[in-house]
Structure formats: C-alpha cells, structure tokens
Structure 1
C-alpha cells in the first residue's frame, strides 16, 4: 500500500530533503563535478556525526522524457481518494492479478511495444493520405534533412559544439525515430485529430507531440509536400480506434458531408474542395497573424507555435461561412448542427473567413439572388 503524503509546494515536509540532500550539498560544495564517477563517489562519501551513511551507484538505465500513462490505464488503477484534497491524497490499493493483468505483464516491451503497435495502425492510408510505399519514399527523401535539423537543434540547445563527456554515457534512444515523427506530423497536419488524442494513443505527453510536429513540419515545408486535409476527423482516441477497427466514421463527419450538399453550398463538392485548398495557405497566415497580435510580438525561440488543435478545421470553416453567407440558417443552427461548438465560435469563424473569400473572388450570394453560385 502506497500513500502520497506531499501535495505540490510542500516538499519542505519531505524528510529526505532534510536528512539526506542537505548533507550531500554540504559535502560537495566547492568541488567541480567533472564526471559521473566524481558525482557518485562524492555522494557515497557523505557522513554525519549522527550516523548518516550513504550508498550511491550510477543508474545507466534509459528514462526518456515525454512518457505518460494513458487515460484508460490510469483510470483502471485501484485508487482510494481521501476526503481531504483527494487529488493529492490517495491510497493505491493492492490488486490481485487477473487474466488481463498477466497478459499485460507478458508484453515484450511494455509501453514501448504498445506504442510501436499504435504507430503501425496510424500509418493507415485513410489517415496519412499516402500508401505504405509512398510514405516510405517520403521518409527516405526527408531523412537527411531531419538528421541535419536534429543536429542543429542540439547545437542550439548546447550553445556550441558537442564535447565528449567523461564517465559512462547512457546513449538513450529517443521515443520516436525520424520516420515516426514524419508519420505523426502527417496525421496531425491532415487534421485527423488533435495532438492530445495522439498523446493519449501513444502514452506520451501533449508537449512531446507538439515538439516533434513543430520540428518535422519545417522539414515538410522545405520539401514542398502538401499533406492535404483528411476526410475524417476524430475528437477522441476511442473514435479513432473504432474507425480503424470497424470503419465507423464519427457522427460529425456525416454531418459535414450532409452540409456539403451542392443544394446547400451552391457548388459541387469538387469545387468546394478546390476552394478549401486555395484558402488553406491564407487561413494559416491569418491564424499566425492573430497569434502574433495576441502574443504582442514575435514568437520566442523554441516555441511550438502553430501546433495547437482547432475545434473547427479549415475545411469546416470554409463550409460554415459559405452556408451562413447564403442565408440558409443562423449561427445558432450551425452551432447546434456541429454539436460541440458554441455560437460565438461559429461567429468568429465567419468573421475570419469572409475576408478570405472576398479576396479570392468567391463570396457566395444569398439563396434566391441572381448569380447565386460563387464565382471567381
């Protein structure tokens, strides 16, 4: 039985802070910590008159950053939350092994194995827009550029060239290789799902997904590859897995397809898709301009700008604006049709997208007016 005793900001109550770390700090003050060996020996040499003795050893294990526990696995933990601040104070109860538990323990690589299996499923052509051969070809074409960007990023983080450190090095393997980074970036840029959904599927943090998307997106842009927009979009990991397993499309996709009917938009589906593709670069530029205004200045170095999820995709923004400008329904009706967005969100979409349609020369006329079909 394990109890968490210290809520955030109360590490001063931790006895290890008082009885161990303070003496280690006193013991190595003024001594250059030039290698792992020096650090370990200095810690192990810590002694006090009260009888403190310290044993220290170098842990050469690999502990990659960005790993997280999936929501379903965390929810399944037998936690008994306390009446006072149950978020911080809880008891983790012992749980007898079941058939499911034994199967999970028997996995070859644990979370790493599940992560690799999920990456294989995410390579579905319906999500990436590419066949397996095309995806491999694109990955090979970008390999050198990705490696160069990685070395450049490491140099910037170090502030100079790499220096050979003494002592035994771990040489840890990153969570995702370059091919995996490309796959996840394609899935995200095609607006299949948010980075939070990807993080939940792969048992990593949202920050981890955001960083790799930002880094790989630049390489894709330099290569000139346009990933396009997927025909399906998923709000939860469960919806995406259901689609991969059974081909069941989310309800919102069916709603968008119904709203894209030529009788409502005044144009064919191909014309609507062409319009969406033409406006995509302008939408991205407009979003960046608004973000710049909210920041009050340029983006800081290392920021992950442009990788945060939108509740309404670019293609949906164009469709909603066309329907509203044709006076087919009100903002409230459009918000109710989508189900998970507010009226103010739809109003903001129309306000931002209408000028783009005007500049493109495709501002639709209300139903019943002459020249009701949008034209260039």
Structure 2
C-alpha cells in the first residue's frame, strides 16, 4: 500500500489501540490512574505495531526476522501482532500476502530495502521469484501480481471456511513466529498456475518449491477451485520441461524456450 494508505489505516486503528492500552494500564494499576512523576514508554508505538503487523501478514518475513531487525524480544513482537491483528479483524481490514518474496534473514531484508538496486538482493530462496518468468506463467509480472492478489483473498477465505467447517480455530501464520505453511499462499497459487500450464511435472515443481510432492498436490487441489471460480486465464504452454535444471536454464536463456519437438511426458 502507499504511505497515505498506511497512514489512513493507522489513523483508523488509533482509537481502538489507545482504548486497548488504557484498559491494560487499568488492569495493571488495579484501579484508576494516579499522579506520577514520570511515565514509562512502550517499546512500540501504535503506528509501529500497525506497520510490523502489516509486514508480517504480508508474509514479507517471519517474526524472528522482525525481532532481529528491531532488536526487540519475541514476546513483545508476538503480543503486538496478536493484538493489532485482532483490531484489524474487528475493523474488517484484510491484508493481502505478498507474491513470492519471503525473507528468512534480517540481513537479506535490510540489504534489499536499503539497496539502490533492490532486484540485486533476493530472498534466501531466489528460485521462486525466477518461476514468475513470463514464458512460464504466460503473462508478464504485473499481470501475474494482479492475478495473484485477486485470488489470494478468495483462496484464504475458502481455506478459513473449510477450517471452520472442520471445527478448527487455528489461524494461519501464528505458530512459533514462523509461517505455518511450508509454502506461502502466493507460492501455492503460482505453483498451481504452472501446473495447469503444464510447464513441468509435479515432481519437478515439488523440487523447485522445495516441498514434498504430497504437500504440493494438496496445495494445488486447494487452489484449483478458486482459479476455476474466477475464470483465471490459464492456457497450456507449448513446451514442457523435463527437469528443474532445464526449466531454470530457460530463464537465463536470451531467447524463448526451445520448440516442443518430439518430447512428450505423461501427466
């Protein structure tokens, strides 16, 4: 979001944050406020809490990376995110996860943010961003990002509805400061697009996304109904790569992928 949009969210949440903070102070004091000579300051302001919660919900990085970046203990970060997330839910504010950019080290995120050439600094798993190449997805990256952002909301809602039907109250991304999923929602959708495009086999995709075949297959089965419901323009490609190495080599090639020729691979 833009800075103005972020500031508007902070303004919208500020009254609820202040009310929550005053309630906490009341409980800690055991009664009404009394005059004091000084006032302790919280490590994070309300605006800070909104910012780190947005970054976390965007799945830019796990809580551990936020702790390393800010020099704040995990309990403070976790409590801030939990409380702010609850306020966002009450205000019906939803945050769309980012598309294939999950930093697992503070140094990587810091280098990317401060660099004059952000593209030169990639996450710990740069392969995933490479898989968004236009000749693989059948669309340019702006079109892909737009499609993924359009689909991630309905996909998350479908998964949450399924959890509710099963009687589960567990929320994604809340265990131990790391993302619960082995791959993010954006990665799941990207993998499904590549699978439906018949870019490569399921085994190759599992290798590229660094997950088991069963994990990836479950993810694809979750995403495909959402793609079908939204009539996403996914068309089969003319070339199917037999190995992960061949697929990655095509991304570096100066020209498009080679012709299909006589190669054929069964599903």
Question: Taking structure 1 as the reference length, what is the TM-score of the superposition?
Answer: 0.51
Distance 1:287 1:210, change over 3 A: farther
Alignment of 1:1-376 (within 5 A): 129-131=1-3, 135-151=6-22, 158=27, 163-164=31-32, 172-221=40-89, 227-230=95-98, 232-246=101-115, 247=118, 248-250=120-122, 254-289=126-161, 291-292=163-164, 296-298=167-169, 305-308=171-174, 309=179, 310-338=181-209, 340-362=210-232, 364-367=234-237
Change in Cα spacing, 1:169 to 1:349, as seen in structure 2 (3 Å) is farther
Post-superposition CA distance 1:303-326 (Å, at most 9, x none): xx4443144222221111011122
Give the CA deviation at 1:230: 3.9
CA deviations over 1:271-320 (Å, ceiling 9, x no partner): 322322222222222343455467x4546xxxxx4443144222221111
Kindly indicate whether the alpha-carbon contact (under 8 Å) linking 1:214 and 1:307 is maintained by their aligned counterparts in 2: no
3-state SS of the aligned residue for 1:364? coil
Distance change in 2, residues 1:173/1:313 (3 Å): same
Give the distance between the partners of 2:130 and 2:185, measured in 1 at CA: 17
RMSD of aligned alpha carbons: 3.6
What is the rounded CA distance, in whole Å, between the counterparts of 2:144 and 2:48 in structure 1?
Answer: 32
SS in 2 for 1:362: coil
Rounded to whole Å, the distance in 1 between the matches of 2:8 and 2:139 is 36
Select the structure of larger CA radius of gyration: 1
Q: How many residues align?
A: 229
Structure 1, unaligned runs of 5 or more: 1-128, 300-304, 369-376
TM-score, normalising length: structure 2: 0.68
Change (3 A) 1:289 1:172: farther
* CA shift in 2, pair 1:349/1:154, >3 Å: farther
More relative contact order, 1 or 2 (CA 8 Å, 6+ apart): 2
